[in-house]
Amino acid sequence: MTARIGVVTFPGTLDDRDTQRAVRVAGGEAVPLWHRDKDLKQVDAVVLPGGFSYGDYLRAGAISRFSPVMETIIEQARAGMPVLGICNGFQVLCEAHLLPGAMLRNTALHFVCRDQRLRVETSGTAWTADYTAGQEISIPLKNIDGRYTADERTLDELEAEGRVAFRYATGGPAADGYGNPNGSLRDIAGITNAAGNVVGLMPHPEHAVETLVGTGRTDGLGFFTSVLKKLVSA
Amino acid sequence: MARVVVDVMLKPEILDPQGQAVQRALPRLGFDGISDVRQGKRFELEVEGPVDDAALARIREMAETFLANTVIEDFNVKVES
């Protein structure tokens, strides 16, 4: 018995196929979901992959957030279904108010594409249980609207409640992927909701699940194994 | 038909690197004396029917839920004759 993980495709989504593959590599069943379809096909969890849904028109994620599939996802996420938003998916989750804050244009105004060192700040979410708090991982990052922003009160609240899930690791040379790549406040790369079922981050775990391609590291695989373990044991 | 304009601007406390890039380019182009630039969005809505209080309330709701992200942006609605 394995779990079914839905992967949403919006017009302009880029990373849906890699995400489906990551789910399969981790041992799950990947179920493609279409943006116009409210039916989640009885999946146990959903990933909103990266890309440029609706061309990033208006704001990144602003139009996809109102798509039919999101209506059901928002409802199910509030009921506890695990949801992971990667890059554009993180932007969609913020626009949908499932996660607080918003993403803005990178401070340096450049599209950044590199292997990024991240510090996992909590293992207490559906998507990070296979990591340990404080563990550093390296996964690809590629965005231009990646500057996480929220007001001071929200940031303090996130920190106090242990809801900063990932930070850009800053303790080493840029050549090794260290440093804040986009001006995100408090070096925040990803956050979780209070219940720990909804997680969003800018870097891409789905591109780091096999040694054959990319960096040759599999640091992103833990996202998918974490949620599968949780679902199978549930 | 009446036109309603919705202006959307980043909140004052939010860093606007695009506006800064524009501001920095100005002296090089011979436009002096501009100390700050902030970049925003303008939406021009052609409204069917009368622009009464009810219509304006709906447009404010539209701006609040969709045209602006009030986490980072403020908006202003005005009627153009």
CA–CA separation, A89 and A146 (whole Å): 12
Single out the catalytic residue among A35, A95, A121, A206.
A206
Residues in chain A: 234
Do B9 and B73 contact (CB within 8 A), yes or no?
yes
pLDDT digit string, tens, across residues B28-74: 999 999 999 999 999 999 999 999 999 999 999 999 999 999 999 99
Place of tokens 């789905």: A206
Is A110 a residue of the active site? no
The residue segments making up the domain with residue A9 are 4-233
SS3 letters across B19-76: HHHHHHHCHHHCCCCCCCCCCEEEEEEEECCCCCHHHHHHHHHHHHHHHCCCCCEEEE
Cα(A197)–Cα(A224) distance, integer angstroms:
13
Domain boundaries, chain B: 2-80
Chain B residues within 8 A of A104 when measuring between CB atoms: 10, 14-15, 72
Q: Which domain CATH number covers A97?
A: 3.40.50.880
Task: State phi, psi for A19 to the nearest 5 degrees.
Answer: -70, -40
Residue A157 among the catalytic residues: no
Q: How many domains does chain A have?
A: 1
Q: Which residue, A45, A40, A50, is CA-closest to A126?
A: A45
Overall pTM > 0.80: yes
pLDDT at A1: 64
ipTM of the complex: 0.85
Q: Is domain B2-80 given the CATH code 3.30.1280.10 in the classification?
A: yes
Give CA–CA dist A141/B20, Å, rounded. 25
